[in-house]
Chain A
Amino acid sequence: APVEIKFSHVVAENTPKGQMAIKFKELVDERLAGKVEVKVFPSSQLFGDNKVLEAMLLGDVQMAAPSLSKFQKYTKSLQVFDLPFLFKDMDAVERFQKGPEGQKLLGALQKKGLVGLGYLHNGMKQLSASAPLKVPADASGKKFRIMTSDVLQAQFEAVDAVPLKKPFSEVFTLLQTRAIDGQENTWSNIFSKKFFEVQPYITESNHGVLDYLIVTSAEFWMGLDDDLRTEISAALNDAIAYGNQIAAQKAESDKQAIIDSKRSEVVNLSDAERAQWVTAMKPVWKQFEDEIGADVISAAEASNQ
């Protein structure tokens, strides 16, 4: 019987991640027919993001693509991606991920029985809120929804904002009714989750990156024949390249769609204003330097050139 790969993710099939998973399945069908079979389960059909890694360790899921922040209990080093204003743009992120330090980070989960197979882009994060955010002082005292991540918590505390953890399912209502003032997300998430309809201002801050890590379990991965592993890897890398290309286009088109909708005003930062945000948030790097590793941070910073 062919090797079965259950690929479980939490988003719809028409998203970049969903498209990437489908592409991966197609490539495997084409190149490894009869040897490997990929089954894609979208929209949390199999498991949610919080449990999928555990299911993988139990051997019931072979591949998943949670966001990088989800790994903080498995390894501290991947928190580097959450640091504010570390990467200038997606090209810098790409350079870092393809570089030696980025590739080394793929192995950071080994001790916990997981293997990183590659990074998948979503995009740069923007800040949305019920009032315009021009300078850090505008965020002071405001409540922002964050996903569970120590770095993101520190990031908002650095500008005297109040980070609140709320399940994704409740965020829309809480934003709509202004029980929470704002949130951070990529253009495509702000668009697909309709946050732009309930958040009148979006600051184009590009202050951080939201990417995914494609993971598999070490037990499954090491149990494969060497040549099979190489071929699956190759198919996956091609699928990732395809997914990244869609993600980049989608970030652009979703941003434009948000602007065109006129539901939300996009706030642009002058260089001086941006510098204020950087000054306020950059101390967070120092705070997590010991956990992440100074060399990793400096390699990431170097990727901006």
Chain B
Amino acid sequence: MTIAALFLMLFGFIFMGMPIAIALGFSSVTTILLFSNDSLPSVALKLFEATSEHYTLLAIPFFILSSAFLSTGGVAKRLINFAIDSIGHVRGGLAMASVMACMLFAAVSGSSPATVAAIGTIVIAGMVRAGYPESFAAGVIANAGTLGILIPPSIVMLVYAAATEVSASRMFMAGFIPGLMMGGILMIAIYITARIKKLPAQPFPGFRQLAKSGSIAMGGLMLIVIVLGSIYGGIASPTEAAAVAAVYAYLVAVFGYRDIGPMKGILWRNQGESSGAAAIRNLFQMAIALPKSVTNPEVRKVVLDGSKVSLMLLFIIANAMLFAHVLTTERIPHTIAETIIQWGLPAWGFLIVVNILLLIAGNFMEPSAILLIMAPILFPIATQLGIDPIHLGIIMVVNMEIGMLTPPVGLNLFVTAGITGKNMVWVIKACLPWLSLLLFFLILITYIPQISLFLPELIDSMRGY
């Protein structure tokens, strides 16, 4: 009865077009008022607790801010140059380099659609010029763009960690191998296609050029090193590492790359300038640019954009905590788990059901919203069936990746249609072969938990426990 009321209200409100945050909060409060004797003041208290007692959650706005600073076309160009210089000379190299650029940009920005837009705009045209079929190019990019939520740091993983209280740093580690693996699978598929279709290779630019583009790209890529390095190197917790990443991203964007902000257009070294003079000039200009950032419209826009995304997510999470509160106090996951166990559903069967449920949900909802609704329900059931929570998390994330490529709501499809100027049917057809690879990958991830668990467990054992 309670279960039915809660879910009917939730989905009724969502499909009425109510913001998901309000739908979650309102259906929860109404269920509390109807079926339990908690008072409204204590519900308000609960919401305040949800917004003010979860330090780990703050990693989310900090990462969003850092990705807002680095999700620019300029960063994308630098990463593409580096990727092409490193693997462009293999057969099908341009496509492989595009996948690599997607992985790198996605890792830094964490946003799938932004990756497709930034990398896709540049490389799809380039690939077509080099003789690749456009549908091939578009399909590869739309797919590789989804890796952003699997390769750490990942906001979706933080949301999962928040919903289930598993360790965010373990989730990050767990995503590493699957992320590289999926990228590898895409590249192998490209290589095979390239051999069959006799697709071209780029000339190797030489190690000097590679070193140069590599060091330029390093500015952005250092973010991953800083985040993972400070978490695992004993400097900071995930939340703190995220704050460091945000500050670093600001410094790189404004003082290093100078794509935005008060130093835009100022060269590191003017023509004919001695290095000493350039160093002094740069230092002086940076000292002025620091306070100027406060009023600079471009910097302000980045901060405001980051704030908008953050408040949206945090407000959903706060309301989702009310929802999770109703679930636990009404023992809903417990009831569902008991039913499932009564059916005699084994762990592998449960995982099939999970995958199907998530794939359906991914057809019309945002990843974070799905996670916040589904994780508190699936997590206790999985625990009872002996499935590792970290493994479940990676399964959910891979499902979310697939959701970005399936209609009607598939962000990567929309963006791909936008940058190629083609219609949705064309885009869906272009993505289909790659989507089937992703589905195959999902099966691997689901039934070989070691792919996800190997690295976190290795790190544990390296530390001697």
Contacts and interface: CB of A to CB of B under 8 A. Distances in A.
**Direct A–B touching, Cβ under 8 Å:** yes
A55 B329 contact: no
B329 A46 contact: yes
Contacts of B167: 172-173
A59 interface: yes
A305 interface: no
Given A58-B45, A170-B56, A179 B39 contact: no
Interface stretch (B116-124, B230-238, B266-274): B230-238
A167 B234 contact: no
Given A51-B49, A170-B55, A170-B56, A197 B465 contact: yes
B39 A48 contact: no
Interface in B451-465: 463-465
Interface in B53-82: 53, 55-56
B98 interface: no
A48 B49 CA distance: 8
Contacts, number: 65
Interface residues of A, number: 27
B238 A55 contact: no
B46 A47 contact: yes
A198 B464 CA distance: 9
Contact of B42 (A45, A60, A166, A198): A60
B41 interface: yes
Interface in A47-64: 47-48, 50-51, 54-55, 58-60
Nearest to A196: B465
B165 interface: yes
A47 B231 contact: no
Contact of A173 (B238, B464, B465): B238
A174 B169 CA distance: 11
A284 B48 CA distance: 35
Contacts of A174: 237
B53 A45 contact: no
Given A48-B53, A51-B49, A60-B39, A178 B234 contact: yes
A60 B231 contact: no
Interface in A153-211: 166-167, 169-170, 172-174, 176-179, 197-198
A87 interface: no
A169 B49 CA distance: 15
A177 B231 contact: yes
B339 interface: no
Contacts of B41: 58, 60
B239 interface: yes
Contacts of B37: 4
A51 B46 CA distance: 8
Contacts of A167: 55-56
Contact of B236 (A54, A172, A179): A179
Interface in A195-254: 197-198
A41 interface: yes
Given A46-B329, A173-B169, A177-B231, A54 B45 contact: yes
A98 interface: no
Interface in B135-183: 165, 167, 169
B45 A55 contact: yes
A58 B237 contact: no
Contact of A45 (B56, B233, B237, B329): B329
B383 interface: no
A173 B233 CA distance: 11
Given A48-B49, A50-B53, A170-B239, A177 B42 contact: no
B305 interface: no
A51 B42 CA distance: 10
Contacts of B38: 60
A47 B53 CA distance: 11
A45 B334 CA distance: 13
Given A46-B329, A51-B49, A177-B233, A169 B55 contact: yes
B30 interface: no
B463 A170 contact: no
A176 B237 CA distance: 10
Nearest to A200: B464
Interface string A41-83: 1000111101100110011100000000000000000000000
Contacts of A198: 463, 465
B328 interface: yes
Contacts of A59: 39, 42
A31 interface: no
Contacts of A179: 234-237
Given A167-B56, A170-B237, A173-B238, A51 B465 contact: no
Nearest to B167: A173
Interface centre among B56, B231, B237 (most CB of A within 10 A): B237
A174 B464 CA distance: 16
Contacts of A172: 167
Nearest to B43: A60
B39 A51 contact: no
Interface centre among B45, B236, B239 (most CB of A within 10 A): B45
Interface in B21-53: 37-39, 41-42, 45-46, 48-49, 53
Contacts of B238: 173
Interface of A: 4, 41, 45-48, 50-51, 54-55, 58-60, 166-167, 169-170, 172-174, 176-179, 197-198, 263
23 contacts: A45-B325, A45-B328, A45-B329, A47-B45, A47-B46, A47-B49, A48-B53, A51-B49, A55-B45, A60-B38, A60-B45, A167-B56, A170-B56, A170-B237, A170-B239, A173-B169, A173-B231, A177-B231, A177-B232, A177-B234, A178-B234, A179-B235, A263-B464
Top-4 shortest CB links A-B: A177-B234, A60-B42, A178-B234, A167-B55
Given A41-B329, A58-B39, A167-B56, 10 more contacts: A45-B329, A48-B53, A51-B45, A58-B41, A59-B39, A169-B165, A177-B232, A179-B234, A179-B235, A263-B464
